[in-house]
Every structure is written in C-alpha cells, then in structure tokens.
Structure 1
C-alpha cells in the first residue's frame, strides 16, 4: 500500500532522513508559506524554497517550466527530494514535476487541506490543467505522504466544505465511511484516516486506473465539466458534490438507487445538490473528459451504498439527470455555491 503516515509535522525530518536525499526542495504556495513552511523546515538541513501563487489557474505548464528551471539552477538531481506542501494544486504540480524532472526524482507530499488529505495527495495521480482539468499528467507514487491533522487548524471553513465533497464521495463508495458520516458532527482524524486508507487500498489494486480505480471518479465526470464551465470559480469539492447528485439520479433511473440518500448526505455536510448550468453545455464538456474512453462518456453510478458500476451511459439518461439537478428544474436549493452562474 502507498506509504501513508498520520502524524504531526514534526514527523517530517525522520521521513526525509530515511530517503537520504542529495538535496531537499519544498514547493508550496504563498498562503501555506506564511502559515506552515517555517515549521515544516524545522530539522531539515538547507532546504530550498519554491513558492508559487495561490489558485487553480497557476496549475499550468508555465508554472511547471518555472519550477523545472529553478531545480536546474539549484543543482537538483534524481537523488534529490521534492516535497509538495499545500493543497491539491501544489501536490498535483509537485508530483508532475517530480515525475518528469530527469525522468523522476524523490517525492514527498504533505497535504495541508482536507481535500488533499483525503484525496488529491493520495494515489499517485499528478497533473496540470491544459484546456481542461488535469489533461496533462502522469501516474507517480510518492515516497511518502504525511497527513498532519494540525494543518487543518488554519483552514477556512470554505476549504473544509470543499474537502467534504470528496468525503461524501467516499461515503457513497464505502458503507463504513457512510456510517461515520451519518453521525457527522464535524471533520475529525477518524474520517480523514478512513477516506485516505480506502483510496490507498483501491489504488494498490489498480495503480493506473485500468479497472477498479475508476470507481473513484464517482461525481467527477460531471464535476470537472462544472468546474471548467465556471472558469474554476466553483471549487472542486463543490463541483463533485453536484456531480454526485447527478450520478445518483442516473443510478436511480438505471438501477433503482435511492437518490434521496445522497441528497440527505450532502445536505448534512452543507454541500450543494444542484448545479447552475444547462444540460447540453455540461454534456459537451463531459464528452471532452479524459475518462471518455473511445470518445464515449464513461460514467460511475451508484447501485446502492457501497456498490457502483462503471459503464457507458446513454446521453438521454445523462441529460435527464442533469436537468433534474439543475437550478432551473424548479425545486430551489439554498446551497447555491458562490461564484456560480
């Protein structure tokens, strides 16, 4: 299984020491630099600091090239260690850089957001955006992932909510996590651990997404389309939440799934259950998704809690599900996300 460590940031020097790297570089963003970089540096000899601006728009090839250039200037080698300290944008870029620089360097990830701790930093997917979400990327497992619960103490409520979109996905995929969320009082270490371990176990069985791992895309085909249509103003976890509701409506029509369970779950977590776009425009974006194998939309739909199917779904079925979960469907939703159309 992927090397996951659950513990405080003070655990980091021992993880680094085990790898005996030639050099150590930290990649982070401006917000995390201010909050956590000094503590992360503690006990690590002569670390290199690379800071990028905050935001999904900086998850780009331009940013990647600037990091490659800096690593070259610092004499970084294949035996050097790049540590991504931050949320999903940082961990995705760090993984992509590490996998491509000199055909692969050592990589460590220290996710500092809920979304990254339960999902983005786990599983070895790397990527940057290129005319779509994560269209350029690799599979590259990190040497370690340190999940330090303490970093959530400085996370804004909106980012906790963002991460809960992925937590909701795991609740639909796993009965044990669903039971935890049914009694949800707030995010805690037990929920984070169960989500992270669930993903790691799936990835271990299917590291390159040839079969089983595709279940982890539940809510994502629609979610990525919504993100792109909103110019990424709708955060990933909120878009996934909307996508989960669409998937549940598909599951209801095809397999008799009770979509009310998903709606209840999302509302309990304070997540949106409707999307702000037209069915046709979402379908156009879904057709461009990297998971559309052979040019057809491959979709993950729930059959029951803990059981999903991955298959091609007819466009008319998707369209009905998208229309039923749109704000224009006539059943208002108080959870309309900020920044949506």
Structure 2
C-alpha cells in the first residue's frame, strides 16, 4: 500500500493506492453517514459498481449511472444527479462516492460541492488520468463554449485508488493518463521525464505504473498544498492544457481523450517556449515518444485557427482578453506568459509548418 496525505485549507485527506482497495472501503470512512450515493458511468458500473456497493455496506445506499465519456460533464447530467440526490433523501450528513475516471470525479465532486451547500465526497479513481484530476479539489462541468468553465474548489474526504481497476483499461486510456504524468515530470521532475522517454506504454508493468502514479501525485500534491486556489504555482499544472482544452472543445468533447489533447498541447507549448525563451527543448523527443506510443498527432487546419484562438480566450485562465500559456524555460522550470491573439496566431502558423516537416 502507498499512502500520501494532502493538506487543503478545509481539511487534510489521504490518497491511498492499494490493489483490491474497492473491497475494503469501509475502513476509510472516518464518520457515520446517513446515506451514500455512488455515481459512476456505464462502463465502470459493469465491472466494479457491485463490489463498491457491497464494500460500503450501508443501509441507505443508492447509485446513479451516467453514459461514459466527456459529454456527461454537462449541466443536464448535473441537474439529473441533483434530482437523484433529492429524491433519494440525501441530507447534509450524506456521502457521495465518485467511482470512475476524471469525468465522474469532476461531475460527482461538483454535485457534492453544491448539494445543500456541500456534502462529503470520496474519489475512487479507475483510470490513470484520474490520478491528476482526483487530487487537488478542482470540480467542474463543461460548457459548450469551454471546458471546466462551471465549477469550484472543493477537496474530497479521501482518494482511494484501487490499482487493480487499472488492469482493465484500454490502451487509449493508458496513453491518455501518461500524458498527465509526463506533464508533471516536465514541470518539476526531470528524472521522471528521462525515464518516460524510453518507455513503451504497451509494456509497462504494474510495479512501474504504481511508481509513476506515486511520482505524479507527489508533484501535484506539493503544488496544490502550496497554492490551492491557483493564484501562483498551481498554474504550472496547466502546461499543455491551453491548446489541449481548445482542441477538445473545437473538435467536440469525446473525439479525442483529454490526455491525447494535452499531449498535442505540450508539443505546441514546447514550440512557443523555444521562441519566447530562446532555449531549445526536447521537442523531437516528445514528438518521437508520442509516435512510438501511438498518440494521435492532431493536424491543425489554418482555417480553424480563429475558432481555436476564440476557444483559448474563453478558457478560465485567460487574463484581460490575453491568452495565458504555461511555458518552459527548460525541463523542470516552468513559467507563465500572457500572449495576444496575433502572437498566438503566428505561433500556430509556424507550428503547422514545423509539423509538416516531421
């Protein structure tokens, strides 16, 4: 078992990683709850919902299943979940359990944060990608004009990571999750980056995966403890996300995974960083790593540049109409730059030309 403790302004909470943890959930409930609502999606429900319901063993326990995919992070599903909570008789001493990947964690966490002005919730992540989203207390739903625009900061009571659930992940979800682990390495752990460059994601062992998850969570934990509300260094966790979120929005949620979009966003951030900071970054290494591990390389059409820029400006990180990007001086040394539309457009055009030559 691996365990870390995260300190938030509201309370501290454990992040626990252990095989088979879904069968031993009761030991991590630190108080008696009047009722429990388990939220999951239709893919995860088939495999793990009954295990979790049996493990919790509460009398007043309910479940709600949403369709799998990013499209469920919507105001419609949020409303249906609130209705389910009300009709099930949940009160301020109830618990919500988010069983699934980042979509379920964000959606369920936002419901918990706003139901009766806030009830406890527990994250039970079932994807690699969710190692990032489950820690730090960011909860949100999407708007058609941008990703995660409606949400708040609301830390969980616990993050309980059953690593056995990762063994059933399709390969697309493995590479999606590893884009976030790479991002965490790029902002503060150069040795992790060097290890990942040589890694074939189709050949990782359970031992390697647990170590990489632990390394990524430690990076995230250190940053969110220093800056819970994203006033300073927490912004560095958005490396690759400015373009990544815009690609998800403009392509249509679910067309590419979050991690696939972020990986492409990292490439673009490297490209911009090299010009702004006049320092070479491992652009070719990142591109080669993506190709080796079968990430989709998203071709940006020149005709779509205005639409992508509009989406980037709608991002919650934009400041006074300028696009805020996290860049790198070098691996392990992130910085934040505010760019105007014309600069971003110029960088996109040179990026398109650079990618054509690869």
Rounded Cα–Cα distance in structure 1 between residues aligned with 2:231 and 2:41? 33
Find the counterpart in structure 2 of residue 28 from structure 1.
40
* Residue 120 of structure 1, CA deviation: 1.5
**Matched residue pairs, number?**
330
- CA 1:329/1:266 → structure 2, altered by over 3 Å: closer, same or farther? closer
**1:181 aligned to which of 172, 196, 205:** 196
- CA 1:327/1:124 → structure 2, altered by over 3 Å: closer, same or farther? farther
Rounded Cα–Cα distance in structure 1 between residues aligned with 2:17 and 2:244? 29
* Residue 151 of structure 1, CA deviation: 0.7
Find the counterpart in structure 2 of residue 3 from structure 1.
14
* Residue 327 of structure 1, CA deviation: 7.7
Q: Deviations over 1:225-271 (max 9, x none)?
A: 11111112122111111110010011111111323343344345433
- CA 1:195/1:264 → structure 2, altered by over 3 Å: closer, same or farther? same
What RMSD in Å do the two structures reach over aligned CA positions?
Answer: 1.9
- In the alignment, structure 2 segments of 5+ residues that lack a partner are 1-5, 7-12
Runs of 4+ in 1 over 6 A off after TM superposition: none
TM-score, with normalisation over the residues of structure 1? 0.91
Contact 1:275–1:325 (CA under 8 A) maintained in structure 2: no
Quick check: 132-141 or 173-182, which moved more? 173-182
Rounded Cα–Cα distance in structure 2 between residues aligned with 1:269 and 1:171? 17
Q: Deviations over 1:58-93 (max 9, x none)?
A: 211111111111111111111111000011111000
Rounded Cα–Cα distance in structure 2 between residues aligned with 1:165 and 1:81? 31
Find the counterpart in structure 2 of residue 240 from structure 1.
262
Rounded Cα–Cα distance in structure 2 between residues aligned with 1:113 and 1:271? 17
- CA 1:327/1:105 → structure 2, altered by over 3 Å: closer, same or farther? farther
Contact 1:242–1:275 (CA under 8 A) maintained in structure 2: no
Contact 1:273–1:325 (CA under 8 A) maintained in structure 2: no
The question of 1:194 aligning with 2:215 is answered: yes
Contact 1:4–1:144 (CA under 8 A) maintained in structure 2: yes
- In the alignment, structure 1 segments of 5+ residues that lack a partner are 333-341
Matched position secondary structure for 1:138: strand
TM-score, with normalisation over the residues of structure 2? 0.87
The question of 1:204 aligning with 2:228 is answered: no
Matched position secondary structure for 1:249: helix
Rounded Cα–Cα distance in structure 2 between residues aligned with 1:204 and 1:329? 38
Find the counterpart in structure 2 of residue 221 from structure 1.
242
